[in-house]
């Protein structure tokens, strides 16, 4: 699965269609590049929890 | 098309040899011997010999094409459905033997050459090939109505880069393919992002749409192959949020041969080769590869050169080593250099008089590539205009000395460049504050010459930031195979 | 007379490959964190890994040097061999 920021939903969808493959994607807030280390740490924490929840809700 | 057994004669009113033998043809018809066994095809004026029942108009040139006529008059005999003999032009002996009429044309000269058939006039052959021939084209055909506008159809189908395209008809594609010896079905490579196979035929179709001439094909094919070199990283370039697109720089005699511009307005509009070669490359990326702005192409702003950006280096000054040679090719080689670059950053200095002054001045501008506080993350091309180059040349500075001086002049103390310096968040790692930091990698600055003879203005092209991993993404120079 | 144009596109459509279902949890799975090579991906994955380790998972790491290219075959082979689940980050 991939972690992708929300701004790339269209691009991801089109690329998946073009390549004929659709992996699981966890969508994250955009942007990332200008986040402080503390903000990035918090985003990672939320993403970790979100990914685990995606798994368990897949039962 | 089936040709009946008997005689088939192809004529033009506008051919003196045809009109010379006309009386003999009439006598032959009046004799009654050839009535149903003679067919006369008139290429030009349908009223010529129209009083004869054997005469038909071949205004479409289909019969002439299928009979492979190159000269008129031509007389052909068919027996059992096959051509058994033919006479080209007027040769009395041949005609009388063919017709089995010993006295045919006895009062005419022994022989007269014919005239060119309309089927071999310039530009006609490709049209007839497209209409009646077995074209060596595999691409899907799209039939549109007689009154449909093919340019609008192309827009509606998403084939355009925003500008009108030249409709890709069979005859135009055949004509374009005449510009290369490569087989139309040869696969040039896989075009990202969809990694679709691109044949020479697809290159030709998109070249037609871009407005190229057939003689541009070798340049375009070389440019495409250079762009597909893994080290150029075309896929990353077209997906980026950065400005950049592929920039093509042409070296060698071919530039002049195909009429490229390296002089006044070299980077601007007005020159067909400059404007269309780059455009064709980008149309291939769009149409074959699926690299479409707003979809996979995520450029935040882009720039006008993403329609197409191609120019030739000025090699008219023998004191200057061209880019092709600097990239390791033999003098006089025809090459393309693909540079993953942004638009032009203009540089104007109308006061510096010495090479040292100009170097320091250029270094100030080069420092701004991408961001003044970012280092070793982009390549750059300095496009030196003739007037600026003359300042260097007049002091004996060559390419190597100019490049070395600029590299040295763009080294800055780390404490001016680190994140937070000057109250600006962007910058290099704070651990480098005590270093002297170069702006560019060791081979990160290329210099070319171009531009009009007047104007103390040069240009800087900054590369895509994918080049921050310098072993993963570089400009590529490739020889053009003619 | 109708006009004939020739298709300039790649004329292809990919055949859709159905991915495997996500596992229902990661605890009995070999987890690989794959750095796709964008700036700050490593930093993000360091924090992400820290979180997974706090929850008792022991992920491995793989990386490609630049986001601009697909991973080298050796990297792909490594991930195929060493992982049940690959989490790639961070695409922004």
**Contact (CB<8Å) B296/A19:** no
Token pair 């070299």: residue: B266
Q: Which residues between 24 and 53 in chain A have a beta carbon less than 8 angstroms from any beta carbon of chain B? A: 34
Q: Which among A6, A13, A15 is the top mutation candidate for probing chain B, defined by the most B β-carbons within 10 Å of its own β-carbon? A: A15
> Is-contact A49 A28, C-beta < 8 A?
no
What CA–CA distance (Å, rounded) separates B455 from A52? 63
> Angle at which helices B355-366 and B399-409 pack, to 10 degrees?
60
pTM score, two decimals?
0.83
**Residue B472: what pLDDT?**
81
**Residue C17: what pLDDT?**
81
C13: which chain B residues are within 8 Å (Cβ-Cβ)? none
Q: Residues of chain B whose C-beta is under 8 A from some C-beta in A?
A: 193-195, 239, 290, 294-296, 298, 425
Give the strand pairing for B411-413 and C3-6. unpaired
Gap from A44 CA to chain C (nearest CA, Å): 5
**Residue B34: what pLDDT?**
66
Domains in chain B: boundaries: 6-121, 122-241+268-308, 342-482
Q: Is the pLDDT of residue A18 over 80?
A: no
What CA–CA distance (Å, rounded) separates B416 from B375? 12
**Contact (CB<8Å) A1/C15:** no
Is the CB of B134 inside 8 Å of chain C's CB atoms?
A: no
> Is-contact B444 B470, C-beta < 8 A?
yes
CATH topology for B6-121?
Glutaredoxin (3.40.30)
**Contact (CB<8Å) C91/A4:** yes
Under the banding of pLDDT at 50, 70 and 90, the label for residue B403 is: very high
Give the tens place of pLDDT for each residue, B163-220. Answer: 999 999 998 999 999 999 999 999 999 999 989 999 999 999 999 999 999 999 999 9
Which chains have at least 3 CB atom pairs separated by less than 8 Å from chain B?
A: A, C
B298: which chain A residues are within 8 Å (Cβ-Cβ)? 8, 11
Task: Give the Cβ contact number of residue A42 at 10 Å.
Answer: 13
Establish, for the pair of chains A and C, how many residue pairs have beta carbons separated by less than 8 Å.
92
Give the tens place of pLDDT for each residue, B301-351. Answer: 999 999 999 999 999 999 999 999 999 999 999 999 999 999 999 999 999
**Residue C45: what pLDDT?**
96
Gap from C13 CA to chain B (nearest CA, Å): 9
For the segment B65-86, the average pLDDT, to the nearest whole number, is: 95
Backbone angles phi, psi at B247, to 5 degrees: -110, 135
Residues 6+ apart with CB under 8 A from C77: none
- The share of chain B scoring above pLDDT 70, in percent, equals 99
Task: Give the Cβ contact number of residue B323 at 10 Å.
Answer: 24
**Residue A58: what pLDDT?**
60
**Contact (CB<8Å) A10/B290:** no
Q: Is the pLDDT of residue B66 over 70?
A: yes
**Contact (CB<8Å) B290/A18:** yes
**Contact (CB<8Å) C68/B143:** no
B285: which chain A residues are within 8 Å (Cβ-Cβ)? none
**Most confident residue range from A13-22, B31-40, B127-136, B355-364:** B355-364
ipTM of the complex: 0.89
Instruction: Pick the residue from chain A with its C-alpha nearest to C40.
Output: A33
- Give chain B's mean pLDDT: 95
Residues 6+ apart with CB under 8 A from C47: A40, A41, A43, A44, A45
Is the CB of C85 inside 8 Å of chain A's CB atoms?
A: yes
Token pair 């022989």: residue: B111
C2: which chain B residues are within 8 Å (Cβ-Cβ)? 143-146
């Amino acid at each position: 699965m991939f972690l992708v920021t929300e701004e790339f939903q269209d691009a991801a969808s089109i690329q998946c269609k073009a390549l004929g493959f659709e992996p699981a994607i966890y969508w994250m807030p955009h942007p990332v590049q200008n986040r402080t280390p503390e903000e990035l740490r918090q985003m990672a924490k939320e993403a970790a929890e979100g990914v685990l929840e995606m798994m368990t809700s897949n039962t | 098309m089936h040709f009946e057994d008997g005689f088939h004669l192809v004529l033009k009113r506008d051919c003196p040899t045809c009109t010379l033998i006309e009386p003999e043809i009439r006598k032959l018809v009046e004799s009654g011997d050839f009535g149903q066994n003679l067919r006369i095809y008139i290429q030009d004026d349908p009223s010529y010999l129209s009083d004869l029942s054997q005469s038909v108009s071949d205004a479409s040139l289909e019969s002439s094409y299928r009979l492979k006529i190159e000269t008129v008059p031509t007389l052909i005999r068919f027996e059992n459905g096959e051509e058994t003999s033919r006479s080209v032009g007027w040769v009395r002996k041949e005609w009388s033997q063919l017709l089995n009429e010993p006295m045919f044309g006895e009062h005419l000269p022994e022989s007269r050459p014919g005239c060119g058939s309309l089927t071999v006039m310039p530009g006609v052959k490709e049209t007839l090939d497209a209409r009646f021939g077995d074209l060596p084209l595999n691409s899907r055909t799209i039939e549109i109505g007689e009154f449909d506008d093919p340019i609008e159809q192309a827009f509606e189908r998403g084939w355009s880069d925003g500008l009108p395209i030249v409709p890709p008809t069979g005859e135009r594609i055949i004509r374009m393919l005449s510009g290369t010896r490569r087989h139309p079905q040869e696969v040039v490579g896989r075009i990202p992002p969809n990694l679709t196979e691109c044949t020479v035929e697809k290159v030709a179709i998109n070249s037609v749409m871009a407005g190229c001439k057939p003689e541009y094909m070798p340049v375009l094919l070389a440019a495409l192959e250079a762009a597909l070199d893994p080290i150029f990283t075309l896929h990353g370039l077209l997906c980026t949020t950065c400005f950049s697109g592929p920039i093509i720089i042409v070296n060698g005699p071919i530039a002049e041969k195909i009429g490229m511009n390296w002089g006044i307005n070299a980077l601007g509009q007005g020159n067909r080769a400059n404007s269309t070669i780059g455009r064709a490359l980008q149309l291939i990326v769009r149409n074959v590869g699926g690299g479409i702005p707003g979809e996979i192409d995520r450029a935040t702003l882009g720039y006008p050169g993403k329609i197409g950006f191609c120019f030739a280096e000025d090699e008219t000054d023998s004191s200057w080593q061209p880019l092709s040679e600097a990239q390791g090719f033999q003098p006089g080689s025809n090459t393309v250099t693909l540079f993953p670059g942004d638009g032009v950053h203009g540089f104007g200095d109308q006061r510096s008089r010495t090479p040292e002054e100009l170097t320091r001045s250029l270094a100030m501008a080069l420092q701004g590539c991408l961001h003044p506080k970012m280092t070793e993350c982009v390549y750059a091309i300095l496009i030196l205009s003739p007037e600026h180059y003359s300042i260097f040349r007049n002091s004996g500075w060559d390419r190597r000395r100019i490049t070395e001086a600029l590299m040295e002049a763009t080294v800055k103390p780390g404490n001016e460049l680190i994140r937070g310096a000057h109250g600006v968040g962007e910058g290099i790692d704070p651990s480098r504050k005590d270093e002297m930091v170069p702006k560019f990698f060791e081979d990160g600055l290329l210099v070319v010459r171009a531009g009009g003879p007047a104007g103390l203005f040069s240009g800087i092209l900054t590369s895509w930031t994918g080049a921050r991993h310098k072993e993963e993404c570089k400009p590529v120079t490739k020889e053009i195979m003619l | 007379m109708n006009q004939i144009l020739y298709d300039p596109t790649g004329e292809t459509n990919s055949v859709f490959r159905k991915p495997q279902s996500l596992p229902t949890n990661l605890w009995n799975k070999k987890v690989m964190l794959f750095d796709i090579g964008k700036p700050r991906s490593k930093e993000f994955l360091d924090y992400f890994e820290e979180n997974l380790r706090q929850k008792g998972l022991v992920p491995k790491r793989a990386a490609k040097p630049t986001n601009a290219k697909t991973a080298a075959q050796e990297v792909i082979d490594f991930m195929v061999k060493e992982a049940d689940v690959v989490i790639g980050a961070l695409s922004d």
